[in-house]
Amino acid sequence: PFVPLPVPIAIGVGLLLVPAATKSIRRIWAFPSVLLLSIIMIFSADLSIQQINGSPIYQYVWSWTINNDFSLDFGHLIDPLTSIMSILITTVGIMVLIYSDNYMSHDQGYLRFFAYMSFSNASMLGLVTSSNLIQIYFFWELVGMCSYLLIGFWFTRPLAASACQKAFVTNRVGDFGLFLGILGLYWITGSFEFRDLFEISNNLIDNGTNSLFITLCASLLFVGAVAKSAQFPLHVWLPDAMEGPTPISALIHAATMVAAGIFLVARLFPLFTAIPYIMNIISLVGIITILLGATLAIAQRDIKRSLAYSTMSQLGYIMLALGMGSYRAALFHLITHAYSKALLFLGSGSIIHSMETIVGYSPDKSQNMALMGGLTKYVPITKTSFLLGTLSLCGIPPLACFWSKDEILNDSWLYSPIFAIIA
């Protein structure tokens, strides 16, 4: 997970020691960023192949022992969930970095942009390879910090500055819940390790011992996921997060920040499944988010805000699937949605640039879908790719999202016909 870190470190040292030389060769920095992420992608693909018939790999790096009663083991956990998420993060990250090289070429913050992007990818990779709850919390906060920096990238704009603060404060609510949940689980189980945590929690629930307290802790953990994945009612930060550059929107909405909340629920799935009340709450939050996100998306004129509400709705589908116990369907839809949404956001960046040649630089006009029309001659390739992404997101066969969404709808019909009708 730390392979991408040399890029932001090198950029920071270069700007500190030789700023003129670092800025003069700034376009070179895109190459190591893409190269290092490509290396991780190859390793992730190899690990996922090994995981097909293998067992999870625990690799401990070091242990921090405070006294005989308390020690923390830091390391990496490699299982099918980690492999899937690593491939998703690296592939979307590579595409976004390649796209960003040209998109951000005229921006004064080009170097800062690539430093933030590489740091964000490293944080997310650290999160998905975490072997215990303390590591998860540490990288969870790093992902939140990176999203704050990326959303407020153009910090001189008042809207961008307020948007990143809104995202930061809203996520603090979720992070506080996550922190309390982790402490509560440690207090009752005496361990941060996933294996021990699930085993002890299940035994306590089966015996009826402290089941109410474990339910409360699990609820607090879920609050963290709700804030990070923009679920109702902590969804308010997501549309304003569009104030950052378009490649950042693609990364946040496809592979990093919003995927972190889904990952947390998926990682703690054995804990949640042992508590029926929590599963019902997860599915209820998911179905409300689906309806709310889709309704709000229809009313938007700004192309990026419309896609943001669409993301919120699709993440609701994934939460609904997890709440129903459809673990594989949820991860399947996470993958198909990530690639479709990344395609749409990168396509919207192309459309916004072409609109700027017509209406001039004005976000209110260049992102207004009511003013868009007759752009085919300017962006013929984007037209086709954007149409494919839209059809996929709508669940039109034989495109990717059809298969994952159909599986979720099928399971929701068995779980609750009312939920199926709403979905």
Mean pLDDT in residue range 344-359: 82
Structure letter (DSSP) for residue 241: G
Q: Please state whether beta strands 71-78 and 57-65 pair in parallel, antiparallel, or not at all (unpaired).
A: antiparallel
Mean pLDDT in residue range 351-363: 76
- Return the pLDDT at 24: 66
| pTM across the whole model | 0.89
CA-based nearest residue to 365, from 309, 298, 302, 299: 302
Q: 20 pLDDT exceeds 80? A: no
- Return the pLDDT at 168: 85
Backbone angles phi, psi at 72, to 5 degrees: -120, 130
Mean residue pLDDT across the chain: 82
Largest CA distance in the chain: 71
Tell me the per-residue pLDDT of 95-110, one tens digit each, with 9 for 90 and over.
888 888 888 877 777 7
- CA distances (Å), origin 93, targets 55, 167, 185, 284: 27, 21, 34, 32
Tokens standing for 61? 């790096």
Length of the chain measured in residues: 423
Structure letter (DSSP) for residue 369: G
- Return the pLDDT at 195: 79
- Could you tell me the pLDDT band of residue 1, with boundaries at 50, 70 and 90? low
Residue 58 neighbours by CB under 8 Å, 6+ apart: 75, 76, 77, 131
Element (H, E) at 64: strand 57-65
Structure letter (DSSP) for residue 131: -
| pLDDT > 90: percent of the chain | 0
Residue 219 neighbours by CB under 8 Å, 6+ apart: 181, 278, 281
Query: Residues 272, 275, 280, CA angle at the centre, nearest 5°?
Result: 85
Q: Of 56-70, 102-116, 353-367, where does the model show the most confidence? A: 102-116
Q: 90 pLDDT exceeds 70? A: yes
Q: 397 pLDDT exceeds 80? A: yes
- CA distances (Å), origin 351, targets 97, 110, 251: 18, 21, 18
Tokens standing for 371? 């003013």
